[in-house]
Structure formats: C-alpha cells, structure tokens
C-alpha cells in the first residue's frame, strides 16, 4: 500500500475541515467528530495512518485507556510484566531512567509524522511489542481487533477522570489547550465532548468486548487497582501468560513490580521530575495526586447531582458501574 504522500495528507486535512468541531480541554486546537468520537486535531493524521498502515502481530500487547484514567500507571505495570525476562533487575530497570510514556508509545501519535521511517522501526521492534492507544475500540485498526494480540484497558470513575483532565489541561502548553473555565469544561464533559470521548462510549466499547472476548480484552478500573494492586496485577500476569505466574519467587517478583510502578516511587524519580513529553506536557504533570475521590474538592452539589445522573443513565444496563468515593 502506498504510504501517505503530501497529497494524501492534504486530503486528510480537507476531510478534517468538513467534520463537526468543538473546542476541547486539550489536544487542540479543536476536537473533530470522526467515526463517532472526538478526535483531537493533534492526533488526526496519526489516527488515519494507524488505521491504514499499522500491521498487528499476534503477540503484540496494547494498553488502552481514556485519557487521565491511569494510563501512565498501566503502561509502567504492563511494561514491567511484558519485559520481565529481558529486564529482570529492579535496581537497574528502564523505568528508573525513562518515563513510562517514553517506553510505551501510541501508534496514533508516532505515525502522525515520518510515516515510512516510523513503520519500519515499529516492524523492527523487539517482540513482544508493547503499545498504548486512546482510540475507542470501534475505531481500532481491524488488524488489531482481528488478530490474537491482547488489550488491557483501564478506566476510572468519571468524576476523578474529569478533575485529572481539567488539572492537566491547565498545565500544558497553551497551543494544545483552551482557556475553558472549570464549568465550561464540565458542560462539555457532560455532553461527551473531550478528547477521544464520549467517555461513556469509550468505556462501554472495551467493556462489552471484554465480556464477549475475555481472552482478548482485560478490563481494569483504576479504583480496583488502587484497592488491591496485587490481585489485579496477578490478573494481568495471567492474562498476558507471563512466566512470572509459574516462578517459585513469583509473589516477590510481583511485589517488586508493584513497588517499582507505585505512584510515590515514580513521582519521585529524577527522570519524572523534569523535562517534557513531546514538547507539550511536563513529565511531572503525569503524576499529580494519584488518589481516588479527589473530585469532591471540585464539584458543587448541583454538579454532583447532574453528573451522577448522567453516569447512571449512560452506563445503565451495561453491568459497568463505579463506587463513588467521597
């Protein structure tokens, strides 16, 4: 298949111009309604290239998430499990010298530029390859949904996810964000208008698939992972068929993995304290509070009532629910 030429990129720019658009919290300058999700302009070309050109391998692993749901944590945990044999030392682990986003990339981001070279380096990556994505399940390339590669999805209660997104948006470079007030951003969020949203269809796409194909998609919640990290990391280990599960020292290794990826440990690493990711967001801003229930400090009683109703209505009948901690 011919790779994206300048002409093709122009066609995609023209397509983007025909789509409904909205201002969003970040990923700017706009969100474009594409294939029923709000695609940030920053990712548009990359999403199309990913759909057209990516070739999945059966042993690929994908970390999927709605933004600000715990992607950084899940990337770290999955990286440490998938590479358990390659990097078995916890004193000299790549996660001590690189941010999880530098170790696990999203094809929708990397394929937005230098397509030919990027595809070549993807095909030459050490296997099993580990990637991340924010793309809704229904828009993933067929090569991913139809191959045997595995997907681990993390979601988070929408209250905390919104607050985390809001705080993050106030700290990234202004060219990628918009000066929305908290209330304006909240209204948009209630209407599903945020990068890769609506949040409900994003969650439900992966949720439904995890029920239909439990060997394909492992569905995790940030709150559960916080509450019983060992139990859920063991689920990840089993799901990925990692050798850790069969090792005599398996339990100690899992504890070491969890400690290496803990919020406190990662936040305090020099590598995560300074510098930028992709020249857009400071690495330190991926580690804010790492708590469940911080939303209570932000929402007015009327916002709580409104948002609770929306969550109930959108998730009703799906079997997916969140404990609201306050």
Phi, psi of 39 (to 5 degrees): -90, 120
Other beta carbons less than 10 A from residue 233's beta carbon: 22
Write out the binding residues for ligand A3P, residues 58-97 only, by CB under 6 A.
65, 67-73
Task: Please tell me the distance from the alpha carbon of residue 46 to that of residue 54, in angstroms, as a whole number.
Answer: 11
Q: Is 224 in the site for ligand A3P (CB under 6 A)?
A: no
The residues annotated as belonging to the active site are: 134
Q: How far is the CB of 287 from ligand A3P (least distance, A)?
A: 5
Q: Which positions from 248 to 267 touch ligand A3P by CB under 6 A, shown as an x/- string?
A: -------------xxx--x-
Half-sphere exposure of 162 (CA within 13 A, CB side): 29
In angstroms, the CA 197 to CA 40 distance is 10
- Interface pick for ligand A3P out of 216, 234, 235, 288 (rule CB under 6 A): 288
Q: Residue 169 is encoded by which pair of tokens?
A: 């948006």
Q: How do 150-155 and 217-221 pair as beta strands?
A: parallel
# residues near ligand A3P by CB under 6 A = 21
3-state DSSP helix/strand/coil % of the chain, to nearest 5: 50, 10, 35
Give the number of C-alpha atoms closer than 13 A to the C-alpha of residue 215, restricted to the C-beta side: 7
Q: How far is the CB of 70 from ligand A3P (least distance, A)?
A: 5
Site for ligand A3P in 113-132 (CB under 6 A): none
Binding mask 26-65 for ligand A3P (x = CB under 6 A): ---------------------------------------x
Give the residue with the Cβ less far from ligand A3P, 147 or 298. 298
115 touches 27 (CB < 8 A): no
CB closer to ligand A3P, 139 vs 272: 272
Contacts with ligand A3P, residue ranges (CB under 6 A): 65, 67-73, 160, 164, 167, 261-263, 266, 286-290, 294
């Amino acid at each position: 298949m011919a790779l994206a030429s300048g002409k093709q990129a122009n066609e995609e720019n023209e397509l983007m111009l025909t789509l409904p658009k909205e201002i969003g919290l970040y990923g700017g300058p706009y969100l474009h309604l594409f294939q029923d999700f709000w695609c940030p302009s920053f990712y548009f070309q990359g999403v199309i290239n990913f759909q057209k050109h990516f070739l999945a391998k059966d042993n690929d692993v994908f970390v999927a998430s709605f933004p600000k749901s715990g992607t950084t944590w899940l990337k770290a945990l999955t990286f440490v499990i998938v590479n358990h044999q390659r990097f078995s030392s916890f004193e000299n682990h790549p996660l001590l010298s690189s941010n999880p986003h530098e170790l696990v990339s999203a094809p929708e981001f990397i394929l937005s530029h230098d397509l030919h070279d990027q595809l070549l380096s993807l095909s030459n990556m050490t296997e099993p390859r580990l990637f991340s994505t924010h793309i809704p399940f229904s828009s993933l390339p067929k090569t991913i949904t139809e191959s045997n590669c595995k997907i681990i999805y993390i979601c988070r209660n929408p209250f905390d996810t919104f607050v985390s997104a809001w705080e993050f948006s106030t700290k990234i470079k202004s060219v990628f964000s918009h000066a929305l007030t908290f209330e304006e951003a909240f209204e948009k969020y209630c209407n599903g208008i945020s990068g890769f949203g609506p949040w409900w269809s994003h969650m439900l796409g992966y949720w439904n698939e995890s029920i239909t194909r439990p060997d394909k998609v492992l569905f995790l919640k940030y709150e559960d992972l916080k509450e019983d990290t060992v139990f859920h990391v063991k689920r990840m280990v089993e799901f990925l068929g990692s050798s850790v599960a069969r090792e005599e020292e398996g339990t100690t290794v899992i504890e070491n993995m969890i400690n290496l990826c803990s919020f406190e440990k990662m936040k305090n690493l020099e590598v995560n304290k300074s510098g930028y990711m992709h020249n857009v967001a400071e690495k330190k801003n991926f580690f804010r509070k790492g708590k469940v229930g911080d939303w209570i400090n932000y929402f007015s009683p009327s916002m709580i009532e409104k948002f609770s109703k929306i969550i109930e209505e959108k998730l009703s009948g799906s079997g997916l629910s969140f404990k609201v901690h306050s």
